[in-house]
Amino acid sequence: MNVSATELVIIGGGLAGLVTANRAAQLGLKATVLEQGNAGKYLCNTRYTGGTFHLCLREITLQPDFLNQLILETTDGFVSKAHARLLADGGAKIIAWLQAEGIKFMRASASEYHKWVLAPPGRSKPGLDWEGRGGDVLLRTLEANLVKRGGKLVRGAKAISLISENSRCVGVTTQDSDNKTEWRARAVVIADGGFQCNPELLEKYISKQPLKLKQRNGGTAFGDGLRMAQGLGAAITGTGAFYGHVLSKDALTNDNLWPYPYLDALVTAGIVVNREGRRYTDEGRGGVSVANAVARLDDPLSSTCIFDQSIWEGPGKNGLIAANPYLMRESATIYTADNLDTLAAKAGINAMALKQTVADYNAAVAASGNATDIKPADGINRRNQKYKALSIVKAPLYAVPMVSGITYTMGGITINAHAQVLREDGSAIEGLYAAGAATGGLEGGPQIGYVGGLAKGGITGLAAAEHIAAAKI
């Protein structure tokens, strides 16, 4: 067993880990990042990111009190006041801090959501497109800055256990191809990116059939941090929700259909049905919520999006890599027909039930006027605020088989607003912190409130580093 001593060790070299390490080094601490990947450009979600820094899909530098309220509303009270405040106050701060590190942002479209996007943007074409794009540049820039500050990033170092003495965390044990090494430190930060690639944990918390989800991510988050933290008595929060998008079912076999284009704009203007031709969720809550609902079905591959020509020509064209035209260009399965009987037969859906579902839904849309909810006869009400419900009438009619694409788990290790890891009784585990997608309690909850993966990673990373430096532990 090798033994190495430093002031701060961080598990994971994504955005959260490298922000923590650089901020800590700025504040005078010697920081070492332990990264399981061996490659120069090891994969992770940050490497693949689309790069939009936002809070609840709004501009991240808006007035903090406004953002605070928005986070509380989006998460329907699931996120604590302290966490909402941390994120709201941290929006402008993380942008300014990254800019000072040499990170470049650009406006990727006229939409407010695209105001702060890592340059160059990580979505210029269908399929994966990361090399030399914003996330890749960010990771290489932050690693170079860390080295200049006297810190280091060790590749091929997979954290397998935490070291605890007298109820405090005092280090990490890693395993590489030949050796185990003990990294002793004053504090440890878990920034391993969540548990979306661990089928057992997905089955426990998210889907009865985890192998029927599309892994829309870097393939590197196995829940090691969650397991290790729980071993030291950590509480976990909000593990039932994830951030992701609804994709063409063909994304399971066609790499040009993930991470983009996704189907959210079609899903939130039209309806989603199961093989019985019935709706099963409120499409008006947005694509992230629908992706969660699809994952929860007994068979997550049994779902189809139904819409018409007006939706295809309207909302279908929204987004940087829009469903229209990219689904067709990339040969995704799209059934079209002039009537619902033929469409249902082509898509393998119960025709009689589908006709009833669409008739009820169209009647509810027609009756809704400016109402904030529409109330189809199937009893599954649909929000009609952010995402407007449109009737499904104009031929050709469309059916697109779907898969739920999971990007990162929203829940995980419970932390406080200093990113300290908490036990069930609310006390902090001394010396142990968590940041980024490894954490729980900052987004999600029953309404699947999406706050923002990059914002969360950057802001919790700064909070962890600043508390460790100030605590002089």
Ligand X SMILES: Cc1cc2nc3c(=O)[nH]c(=O)nc-3n(C[C@H](O)[C@H](O)[C@H](O)COP(=O)(O)OP(=O)(O)OC[C@H]3O[C@@H](n4cnc5c(N)ncnc54)[C@H](O)[C@@H]3O)c2cc1C
| Nearer to ligand X among residue 71 and residue 358 (C-beta) | 71
Measured CA to CA in angstroms, residue 430 lies from 32, 75, 170, 232, 424 at distances of 19, 29, 9, 10, 14
Instruction: Identify whether the C-beta of residue 164 lies closer than 8 Å to the C-beta of residue 153.
Output: no
CB of 96 to ligand X, least distance (A): 17
Contact 53, 94 (CB under 8 A): yes
- Binding region for ligand X (CB under 6 A) out of 5-13, 282-290, 318-326, 392-400: 5-13
Give the C-alpha separation, 364 to 116, whole Å.
38
Using H for helix, E for strand and C for coil, what is the string for 145-198?
HHHHCCCEEECCCEEEEEEEECCEEEEEEEECCCCEEEEECCEEEECCCCCCCC
34 binds ligand X (CB under 6 A): yes
Residues 174-193 that bind ligand X (CB under 6 A): 191-193
Residue 154 tokens read as 């060790």
Mark the segment that binds ligand X (CB under 6 A) among 7-15, 323-331, 344-352, 387-395: 7-15
Which range in 20-28, 90-98, 362-370, 453-461 contacts ligand X by CB under 6 A?
453-461
Q: Which of 36, 74, 215, 289 contacts ligand X by CB under 6 A?
A: 36
Span of 6-14, 84-92, 234-242, 319-327 interacting with ligand X by CB under 6 A: 6-14
Instruction: Determine if 238 is a binding residue for ligand X (CB under 6 A).
Output: no
Q: Using CA atoms, how far apart are residues 466 and 464, in angstroms rounded to an integer?
A: 6
Instruction: Measure CA of the first residue to CA of the last residue in the chain; give whole Å.
Output: 26
List the one residue from 437, 463, 464, 468 that touches ligand X (CB under 6 A): 437
- Residue in 7, 8, 10, 17 binding ligand X, rule: CB under 6 A: 17
340-379 residues near ligand X, rule: CB under 6 A: none
* Least distance CB 126 / ligand X (angstroms): 12
463 counts as binding ligand X under rule CB under 6 A: no
Tokens 């994966």 belong to which residue?
A: 128
Q: Please tell me the distance from the alpha carbon of residue 145 to that of residue 140, in angstroms, as a whole number.
A: 9
- What residues between 46 and 65 interact with ligand X by CB under 6 A? 46, 48-52
Is the Cβ of residue 320 or residue 392 nearer to ligand X in the bound state?
Answer: 320
Contacts of 53 (CB under 8 A, 6+ apart): 60, 91, 94, 95, 105, 116, 117, 118, 452, 454, 455, 458
DSSP H or E stretch at residue 337: strand 335-337
The answer to whether 42 contacts ligand X (rule: CB under 6 A) is yes
Instruction: Specify the residue, 286 or 436, whose C-beta has the smaller distance to ligand X.
Output: 436
Q: Which residue has the tokens 């409120």?
A: 282
The binding site for ligand X (CB under 6 A) comprises: 11-17, 34-37, 42, 44-46, 48-52, 158-159, 191-193, 217-218, 220-221, 224, 259, 407-408, 436-437, 452-455, 457
